[in-house]
Amino acid sequence: MADAARSVTLAYFRTDQLATENKLNEGFDPVTRADREAEQAMRGILAERRPDDAILGEEFGAQAGTSGLTWVLDPIDGTRGFMSGTPTWGVLIAVSDAHGPFYGVIDQPFIGERFIGGFGEAHYSGPHRTGALGVRKTQDLADAVVFTTFPEIGTAQEGAAFHRVAAEAKLVRYGMDCYAYALLAAGQIDLVIEAGLQSYDIQAPIAVIQAAGGVVTNWQGKPAHEGGQVLAAATPALHATVLKLLAST
């Protein structure tokens, strides 16, 4: 499925064939032909190989199944980056059951990187090396590198909570979409804090990060696989520190 989505997305990336539409009447939430065709390609594979499984995709919604498993698909996470030519977007694929996601893939077609996690194992493959994924061991927020996609972080209250954390971190960076979660699983950064996510935005990152040894919850310390507010941390100690700051509104 990831290979199929790679083929579709790369055919449009950084070309003049990419037509962009806006999903919103107010604001800007783009969708492209590449988003739709990549999801259709993945759904076609599932129809052939896993016809009894349910599907939840960003572009074509929910399809019921009878197996108790659901494939959660985001054909291009970071469409704004995709349409801008930046290689920080990705293809997200997760498999979940009643307890949440247990296997996930974060794929970056243009760079050729793939981050996979599930069943207690996490692996990376890319143009320069392959190997196991593992989070960093950072314990203190003062030593932490934190990422988020949008500086506003949702509502004004959510933004204020994020900036309390950012003020105590070593370094803050913006605009990475799903690639930030991949970097956390790869041991390159320590925290990702976001709000306003959908389930298809976060289920694959949850599976990959947890398999790499990290922690992912919502801002109340509860499961985050339905989306909303998300806190991903390299270590339990760092996660606990940030939870307190996010909650002190």
Cα distances (angstroms) measured from residue 185 to each of 8, 35, 145, 220: 26, 25, 13, 22
pLDDT at 25: 62
Task: Round the average pLDDT of the chain to a whole number and report it.
Answer: 94
Beta-carbon contacts of residue 57 (< 8 Å; ≥ 6 apart): 39, 42, 43, 72, 73, 74, 75, 200
Confidence band for 28, pLDDT divided at 50, 70 and 90? low
pLDDT score, position 14: 94
Edge-to-edge strand order for the sheet containing 171-174?
171-174, 145-148, 191-197, 228-233, 215-217
Mean pLDDT of 10-23: 80
Q: What is the pLDDT of residues 109-129, one digit of tens each?
A: 999 999 999 999 999 999 999
Instruction: Give me the mean pLDDT over the 94-120 stretch.
Output: 97
Provide mean pLDDT across the span 11-24. 78
Binding-site positions for Mg(2+) read 58, 74, 76-77, 201
Q: In terms of DSSP bridges, do strands 228-233 and 191-197 run parallel, antiparallel, or are they unpaired?
A: antiparallel
Q: CB 246: neighbour CB atoms within 10 A?
A: 21
Q: pLDDT tens-digit profile of 180-221?
A: 999 999 999 999 999 999 999 999 999 999 999 999 999 999
pTM over 0.85: yes
In this prediction, what percent of the chain has a pLDDT beyond 70?
95
Task: Write the pLDDT tens digit of every residue in 56-66.
Answer: 999 999 999 99
50-91 pLDDT, tens digit each: 999 999 999 999 999 999 999 999 999 999 999 999 999 999
Kindly tell me if the per-residue pLDDT of 143 is higher than 70: yes
3-state secondary structure the chain: CHHHHHHHHHHHCCCCCCCEEECCCCCCCEEEHHHHHHHHHHHHHHHHHCCCCEEEECCCEEECCCCCCEEEEEEEECHHHHHHCCCCCEEEEEEEECCEEEEEEEEECCCCEEEEEECCEEEEECCCCEEECCCCCCCCHHHCEEEECCCCCCCHHHHHHHHHHHHHCCEEEECCCHHHHHHHHCCCCCEEEEEEECHHHHHHHHHHHHHCCCEEECCCCCCCCCCEEEEEECCHHHHHHHHHHHHCC
Q: Where are the domains of the chain?
A: 2-132, 141-247
Give the residue numbers of the binding site.
58, 74, 76-77, 201
* Fold category of 141-247 in CATH: D-Maltodextrin-Binding Protein; domain 2 (3.40.190)
2-132 folds as Fructose-1,6-Bisphosphatase; Chain A, domain 1 (3.30.540)
